Amino acid sequence: MRNKLSVLCFSVLLCLTNTITAFASFERGDDGQDVLAIQKRLVELSYKIVNLDGNFGPETEAATKKFQEDKGLDVDGVVGPDTYRVLMNKDIPPNRGRSSVVRNVLNAAYSVMGVPFVFGGTTPSGFDCSGFVQYAFARAGVSIPRMADSQFYYGRRISMSEVRPGDLVFYTTYEPGASHCGIYVGNGNFIHAGSSTGVTVAPAFTGYWGARYYGACRIL
């Protein structure tokens, strides 16, 4: 029993560590000295940025995409771990930029992996789907509505192709419309409180949930 508990604790810790690294990024909307350093480095490498102002806007995004294209990286305009390492010759700093809020949400979500499903539940003793989502956002200092359908209309609705980590994904289950929800974590997966699984990670757009996909929204 003690060995199983140790393995479980290690797995959760590893998951949290990987989450922090995987979702560290600088992207459009971020600002500050870290962004300014990125801008200066791009200019040093002859990528055009006229305004070195520490604001990650369209110009910085375009320069980042050109850099990524030249270096054979994924061309998305986001300075994530791989792009940052090639550009800055060091690992990306943790807990920086707007995406730090996303990381806080995801860390809170992963911290309650395995908590059982309880209808109406809003605490680590037990969650329903929207109670889990509200809890994870609240732990990151973000207040959102309690119910799944209200959460769907609270954020800015986005297409499936636009979904990124931290966005909410919704499904039609026991009633029409957005009756189930979770948090997209990347790589085609989402974390949610399932009625038969408790808090777990599952494919967001294929299989059981893909057949019931209703839409997505962005709050952060």
Q: Could you give the residue numbers annotated as active site?
A: 129, 180, 192
Residue 18: phi and psi, rounded to 5, are -65, -35
| DSSP helix/strand/coil, 203 | strand
Comparing CA positions, the residue from 113, 125, 123, 139 lying closest to residue 194 is 113
Between CA 72 and CA 68 the distance in angstroms is: 6
DSSP 126: E
> What single letter denotes the amino acid at residue 200?
T
Q: Are 193 and 125 in contact (CB under 8 A)?
A: no
On whether the CB atoms of residues 148 and 171 are closer than 8 A, the answer is: no
